[in-house]
Amino acid sequence: MEMQTKDNRIYTNQLPKWAIVFHIGFISLFLVIGIGFLAIAIKGAITNEFGFFLIFFAFSAIFLGFSRFCYKNLQNYTKYLMQIELGEDGYKYYFHNKKNKDKTYVFIPYENMEYVLIGMDYQVMPRQRVGHDVPTLQSLRTAKIIIYGVSSNGHPVVLSFTHGNQIYLIEWIHVFQEHNVTIFQTDKALTATPNTPEGIQEVPKQLYEGNLLFEVGSLSKDMDNIFLNKKQQDVIEKNVKKRRKKGLLYTMILSLLQIIMICFWFPEWDIEGGSFDDDSGLILAFLFTIFTQIFIYLYMRRVKWYDPIKDMIIITVGIVIGSLLSPAARPTFHSAVEHYGAMVVGWFLFSIYVFKLFGWLSKIEKNRKKNTHKERASF
């Protein structure tokens, strides 16, 4: 949630009116376009144009998804009021849930602060690169400040705030130092660190002596330096296993879709030279299968080296079964289906393993540069 400020001491999540109108405009635009594409897709389904239906249904899902995302994002600013202040007497936090009327106010006087911990966090932002017309999304380092102390009502509390500006961060550090607050820092990202005394005590830390261990606003090529305690690591591993199981299920569904397409859509296509004509739905079916499996991998997040081979075997089984069950009577139909299957499997495996090879090589290069930097620093 982006916070607004005028003096770097008081922050709020309240958007100006023009920004709210801007959000509503985008929500409405995406919603209208998505509904329009959905209507076209339904028309294609009614007229039995299966490929036509798939294309416009996908476009509809994308734009309706954008609309929902913008709506949810706007709710963060209209349904909740958050305000923090680093005042003359301490740190103040106020949160108001306008939906259920809940209000939270926490005040930690400087004399009640046990310590402040400064670590990294990440923010994904579009950045314009030299020589490129289209901006790319890049991860920037921000500073996460965690304040541990006793509130004015006598309860131990942990509060956090993220700074994306190093000058503003240094100003806050000076305020803490003026009030003799102990400041620790860590080179770990505190993105997943829970705001509990137990959670921050597990973080490896050292006293802040005037120099930060990282530069706020600098480019981060990865986000793998996040500190995770044992419990969090176990939860992540459990979620990874769940996603892998669901990924296998989704691949089996995609294989089932191959059977349906080959039985009910492929027989309508023209065949030339033992393969389906390029003007048929061949390219559409090919792209649908390839990109659906890629989206499945994006959902899984972690893909082992043997997963592409395993999944293409599952897809191939669906293609073979579809070819055997298809009512098409043309003698060249089965060879055309085989050509389609070979094209899907061959292109997918080639693309995935080339991508993995480049990733492996870039990781080796990154480790080499990191080791070189450490060796130079040791001298």
Digit-coded pLDDT (tens) for 282-333? 999 999 999 999 999 999 988 999 999 999 999 999 999 999 999 877 889 9
**Domain assignment present for 375:** no
Note the pLDDT tens digit of each residue in 163-196. 988 899 999 999 999 999 999 999 999 988 888 8
Claim to verify: residue 157 and residue 46 sit in the same structural domain: no
Instruction: Note the pLDDT of residue 172.
Output: 94
Given 167, 196, 227, the domain boundary residue is 227
For helices 17-46 and 50-78, the axis angle rounded to 10 degrees is 160
**Domain assignment present for 373:** no
Highest mean pLDDT pick, 69-78, 223-232, 295-304: 295-304
Claim to verify: residue 127 and residue 220 sit in the same structural domain: yes
The total number of structural domains that make up the chain = 3
Note the pLDDT tens digit of each residue in 86-109. 999 999 999 888 777 888 999 999
Instruction: Note the pLDDT of residue 377.
Output: 47
Instruction: Note the pLDDT of residue 132.
Output: 58
CB atoms inside a 10 Å sphere around CB 315: 23
**Pair 122, 218: CB distance under 8 Å:** no
Question: What is the domain extent for residue 70?
Answer: 4-78
Q: Which long-range contacts (CB under 8 A, 24 or more apart) does 357-362 make?
A: none
Highest mean pLDDT pick, 85-99, 144-158, 266-280: 144-158
Average pLDDT rounded to a whole number, residues 124-151? 78
Given 17, 48, 78, the domain boundary residue is 78
What's the rounded Cα separation, in Å, for the pair 66 and 335?
Answer: 41
Q: Which region among 43-52, 97-106, 230-239 has the lowest average model confidence (pLDDT)?
A: 43-52
DSSP string across 95-159: EEETTTTEEEEEEEEGGGEEEEEEEEEEEEEEEPPTT-SS-EEEEEEEEEEEEEEE-TTS-EEEE
Query: Which residues have CB under 8 Å from 111's CB, separation 6+?
Result: 179
Claim to verify: residue 223 and residue 237 sit in the same structural domain: no
In this prediction, residue 360 has a pLDDT band, given cuts at 50, 70 and 90, of confident
Instruction: Note the pLDDT of residue 371.
Output: 63
CB atoms inside a 10 Å sphere around CB 136: 10
**Pair 51, 280: CB distance under 8 Å:** no
Claim to verify: residue 120 and residue 243 sit in the same structural domain: no
Given 78, 102, 134, the domain boundary residue is 78
Instruction: Note the pLDDT of residue 372.
Output: 65
**Domain assignment present for 372:** no
Claim to verify: residue 147 and residue 272 sit in the same structural domain: no
Instruction: Note the pLDDT of residue 48.
Output: 76
Claim to verify: residue 187 and residue 93 sit in the same structural domain: yes
Higher-scoring residue by pLDDT: 200, 274? 200
Claim to verify: residue 142 and residue 58 sit in the same structural domain: no
Q: Could you tell me what percent of the chain has a pLDDT over 90?
A: 45
**Domain assignment present for 355:** yes
**Domain assignment present for 378:** no
